[in-house]
Amino acid sequence: MPKTKSDNLFKLIKSLKKSEKRYFKLNTLGESSGDNKKFIKLFDEIDQQEHFDEDAILANSPEIKPEQLSNIKAHLYKRILQSLRGYHSSKVPEIEIREIIDFAEILYNRCLYAQCVKVLQKAKKKAKKYDYLELLLEIYKLEKQVLIHTVGKDNQERVNNIVSEVQEVNDRINNINTFTNLAAQLNTFYLKAGFIRDQKDYFKIRKYIKSCLPAYDEIVLSLNEKLHLYELLVGYYFFIQDFNEGYNYAKKWVDLFIDSKEIIASRLDMYIKGINNLMIAQYKLLKYHEFVETHRKLKEIRNLNYIELNENIQVKLFKYNYVHEFNRYFMLGDFEIGVAHFNKIKNNIESYITRLDRHSRIIMYYKIACLYFGNDNHREAIAWINRIINEEDVDLREDIHCFARILNLICHYEVGNNDVIEYYIRSTYRFLLKKDDLHNFQKYILNFLKKLNRISSEEQLINQFEGLLKQLLPLTQNRYEKRAFIYFDIISWLECKIRQEPIREVVKEKARQMIERETQLA
């Protein structure tokens, strides 16, 4: 069986920015050898391609023999990574510290112990500043090796200090590992089912967290420990739908960065994630003015001149900015403005969506569908909902798959597709039973939609809307039923049908009252 031609080098070159390409070429061209010319030739050929094509490369590069190509690709890949390390060494503290540790090892191997100690002190100072615990352990390990070769009257004191510091670092690393392990486990639960569905879910997750979370004193925890603890607790409280507590810990999370701005560059991913979680809590709790202020912080990240916006960060900023822009439209009822804005940038967003992970894509599809629904563009909403329904992995965020089907039914009712509603009701009913997600909210809506085809008068129709509203309102206060209202503002939809107004007008009126109350309390 022939070996598949790898396109890893192609993907790496395509990920480079112009400045990174220029840096690579300057460093490579500065070294005079025939191999370097082949590296540059291969680099340029791949850089110009839209799709990776080895045959085209060989046809355009007679100096590269077919039997040489595999080795040249491998060496070029390594040279690019080395170039990227050099390019980013002064901008990424972790890379810079690792480089200093490498220098210390070189000095140690040359028996230049005094110089090695001096370099290690520099590395330790930087590692402590940014709280890089694993790097500190590497530094302490090398320090202990150097101690054997540097006899002095203070050696015992130095050994005692290193042993004590290593123990402290190990304890902190153990705490962080516990927090991150719990957060990762919690995330797998969330990615499968979404928010807790019933009391069984609640007791299961609470018991799990309480049994695994070690005793801790938040005041004495280091910055790094607090970051990962807050990440865990925000995820936990969001999962059980306690958004007030989630908000409190998300605020603490972001405040750590506000109080220690020097760590933003080294932990940019965590900073962005913290802002995103704070905005989610502010959105759920209708803290509009705070939401706008936090969104401003998120937008400002692109303009910080001391940070490195790699591909991963750019995709996250794109995702969070657009999701929260949609949330702002939802809070204000500005669906018409939102749809107009989205239609202008639709093509650009489509290209970005393909770069998102599957979970983020589902979230984005659902937000866009809700945006169109709020503007009464029900056919467009159906098109985006179908992207969710047609996803192969329906075990990913089962909750969104369930509520997407409910929203799909309501959209088909709105466009008058009465002939397919009965089919979709049966299909949705089966899906909800299979996913063990048939609660009162879903039952009331499905029964309501079943009756609509048999109603002829407007008065009877409004009576049905009023009846469903009366059934649903008590569920907004039920701990396990209220999650349904997180996904879709069906109360506003029912009110708009009863009042015979566009849904956006109903939401705008609620937004006006919400902002007035918030202003009075400020």
DSSP state of 29: H
Higher model confidence: residue 104 or residue 448?
104
Domains, the chain, with CATH or none: 8-88 (no CATH), 195-300 (1.25.40), 310-522 (1.25.40)
Percent of the chain with pLDDT over 70: 95
Which range is least confidently modeled, 3-12, 264-273, 341-350?
3-12
Higher model confidence: residue 348 or residue 121?
121
Nearest-5° angle of CA 318, CA 269, CA 174? 150
Torsion angle in degrees (nearest 10) through CA of 293, 365, 246, 197: 160
Residue corresponding to tokens 């985006």: 384
| Mean of per-residue pLDDT scores for the chain | 88
389: tokens are: 């329904």
Q: 395: pLDDT confidence band, cut at 50, 70 and 90?
A: low
pLDDT at residue 2, rounded to an integer: 40
Could you tell me which residues come within 8 angstroms of residue 43 by beta carbon, excluding any fewer than 6 positions away? Answer: 13, 24, 25, 28, 76, 80
Q: What is the pLDDT of residues 248-276, one digit of tens each?
A: 999 999 999 999 888 898 899 999 999 99
Which range is least confidently modeled, 43-47, 257-261, 327-331, 441-445?
441-445
Q: Whats the size of the chain, residue-wise?
A: 522
Q: What is the largest CA-CA distance in the chain?
A: 99
Q: What is the pLDDT of residues 382-393, one digit of tens each?
A: 999 999 998 877
Kind plus residue range of the DSSP H or E element containing 455: none
Backbone conformation region of residue 111, classed left if phi is above 0, alpha if psi is from -120 to 50, else beta = left
Is 61 a residue whose pLDDT tops 60? yes
Residue corresponding to tokens 């090695």: 116
Residue 330's nearest CA partner among 210, 504, 160 is 504
The b-or-e profile of 92-124 (16+ CB within 10 A means b, else e) is bbbbbbbebbebbbebbeeeebeebbebbeebb
Q: 245: pLDDT confidence band, cut at 50, 70 and 90?
A: very high
pLDDT at residue 285, rounded to an integer: 92
DSSP state of 354: T
504: tokens are: 């956006």
pLDDT at residue 1, rounded to an integer: 34
Task: Identify which of 445-449, 482-486, 518-522 has the greatest average pLDDT.
Answer: 445-449
Is 32 a residue whose pLDDT tops 60? no
Q: What average pLDDT does this structure show over 239-251?
A: 95
Q: What is the pLDDT of residues 286-325, one digit of tens each?
A: 999 999 999 999 999 988 877 777 788 888 998 899 889 9
pLDDT at residue 31, rounded to an integer: 59
What's the CA gap between 371 and 343, in Å, rounded? 11
pLDDT at residue 5, rounded to an integer: 63
Residue corresponding to tokens 């506003």: 492
Could you tell me which residues come within 8 angstroms of residue 441 by beta carbon, excluding any fewer than 6 positions away? Answer: 472, 475, 481, 484
Q: What is the pLDDT of residues 170-180, one digit of tens each?
A: 999 999 999 99
pTM of the model: 0.80
